[in-house]
């Protein structure tokens, strides 16, 4: 692979990883947009991390910023593989645990309720493809897999849960499907690496639990991403073929 590009929503999710690989900020690369580029080289592969950026002193989480960052990243950096690394909520009833890292085996939206025929439902839910090598990678690293499910809110309303259950969603985030949408348009494969910050089927306040577990989730993301980068940049055609 020539170029691998991470798309990350929050600084706290990316910082341990940026430090570990000694990536450098390329200031104003996306100016005047808020996205930020960190880059470096690992085993001859260009490694980029694109952050959504910040506004009003807070990270730009959510689909709009993720769509913008992904589209800019693909146009300007031409990655062979996009990796969305970040945190998510998950279901304790399905065996999830805080700071456990999952590989996405599918990706959908859960809060786009558009009445109409099957075509509207298909478009609203999304169900975009993930990188074909995702499953093999999960096996190699001994990681569990789950379907990423994306919406614009941190909380989960009963109508969201209904859609999530109906379509088999497991890893609840705010960017994944938007990133996969853009990747599908450009034909660039996308891999999801998600660490659990909160259990969505628990009654506890999501924001409080999320904030408490963010650092631990960021740390486990770093550990797993180190292994992923090492596998993907190894000179082995079986593991580094982006197709
Ligand atoms: N005010 C918080 C906002 C975090 S939003 C803060 O700045 O600390 C949550 C982020 O983590 C999003 O980028 C989303 O992708 C992910 N996330 C973690 N748990 C989530 C959940 N239960 N539902 C949706 N997104 C979640």
* Residue 13 is a catalytic residue: yes
What does the pLDDT read at residue 242? Answer: 60
- Domain assignment present for residue 177? The answer is yes
Active-site pick, 13, 111, 173, 175: 13
- Domain assignment present for residue 131? The answer is yes
- Domain assignment present for residue 19? The answer is yes
| 93 DSSP assignment | G
Domain holding 203, by residue range, is 3-235
- Domain assignment present for residue 9? The answer is yes
- Domain assignment present for residue 143? The answer is yes
Per-residue pLDDT of the chain (243 residues; tens, 9 = 90+): 999 999 999 999 999 999 999 999 999 999 999 999 999 999 999 999 999 999 999 999 999 999 999 999 999 999 999 999 999 999 999 999 999 999 999 999 999 999 888 999 999 999 999 999 999 999 999 999 999 999 999 999 999 999 999 999 999 999 999 999 999 999 999 999 999 999 999 878 888 999 999 999 999 999 999 999 999 998 645 455 565
Give 180-242 as a DSSP string: HHHHHHHT--EEEEEEEEEETTS-S-HHHHHHHHHHHHHHHHHHHHHHHHHHHTSS-HHHH--
- Domain assignment present for residue 60? The answer is yes
CA of 214 to the centre of ligand 1 (A): 9
What does the pLDDT read at residue 134? Answer: 98
What does the pLDDT read at residue 234? Answer: 87
- Domain assignment present for residue 243? The answer is no
Mutate to test the pocket of ligand 1, among 146, 154, 203 (most ligand atoms within 8 A of CB): 154
| CB within 8 Å of 92: residues ≥ 6 apart | 199, 201, 202
The pair of three-digit structure tokens given for residue 217, joined into one six-digit string: 């989730």
Rg over CA atoms, the chain: 17
Domains held by the chain: number: 1
CA of 208 to the centre of ligand 1 (A): 11
Kindly report the CATH number assigned to the domain that includes residue 217: 3.40.50.1580
- Domain assignment present for residue 109? The answer is yes
Evaluate the CA torsion angle 106, 54, 206, 157 in order and state its sign: negative
The model's pTM is 0.95
Q: Which residue, among 103, 73, 101, 88, has the nearest Cα to 4 in the 3D structure?
A: 73
SS3 letters across 111-145: CCCCCCCHHHHHHHHCCECCCCCHHHHHHHHCCCE
CA of 16 to the centre of ligand 1 (A): 18
Separation of alpha carbons 19 and 22, rounded Å: 5
Separation of alpha carbons 98 and 120, rounded Å: 35
Q: Which residue has the tokens 């910050």?
A: 197
What does the pLDDT read at residue 168? Answer: 97
Mutate to test the pocket of ligand 1, among 174, 196, 201, 203 (most ligand atoms within 8 A of CB): 174
* Residue 97 is a catalytic residue: no
């Amino acid at each position: 692979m020539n170029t691998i590009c991470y798309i990350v929503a929050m600084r706290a999710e990316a910082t341990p990883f940026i430090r570990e690989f000694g990536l450098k900020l390329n200031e104003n690369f996306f100016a005047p947009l808020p996205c930020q580029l960190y880059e470096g080289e690992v085993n001859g592969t260009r490694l980029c991390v694109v952050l959504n950026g910040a506004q009003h002193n807070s990270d730009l989480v959510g689909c709009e910023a993720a769509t913008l960052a992904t589209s800019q990243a693909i146009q300007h950096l031409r990655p062979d593989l996009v990796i969305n690394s970040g945190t998510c909520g998950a279901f304790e009833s399905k065996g999830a645990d805080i700071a456990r890292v999952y590989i996405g085996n599918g990706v959908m939206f859960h809060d786009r309720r558009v009445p109409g025929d099957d075509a509207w439902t298909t478009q609203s839910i999304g169900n975009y493809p993930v990188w074909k090598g995702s499953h093999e990678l999960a096996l190699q690293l001994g990681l569990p897999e789950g379907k990423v499910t994306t919406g614009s809110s941190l909380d989960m309303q009963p109508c969201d849960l209904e859609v999530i259950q109906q379509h088999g969603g497991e890893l609840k985030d705010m960017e994944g499907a938007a990133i996969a949408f853009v990747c599908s348009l450009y034909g660039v494969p996308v891999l999801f690496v998600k660490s659990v910050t909160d259990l969505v089927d628990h009654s506890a306040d999501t924001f409080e639990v999320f904030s408490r577990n963010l650092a631990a989730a960021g740390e486990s993301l770093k550990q797993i991403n180190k292994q992923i980068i090492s596998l993907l940049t190894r000179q082995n055609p079986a593991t580094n073929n982006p197709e």
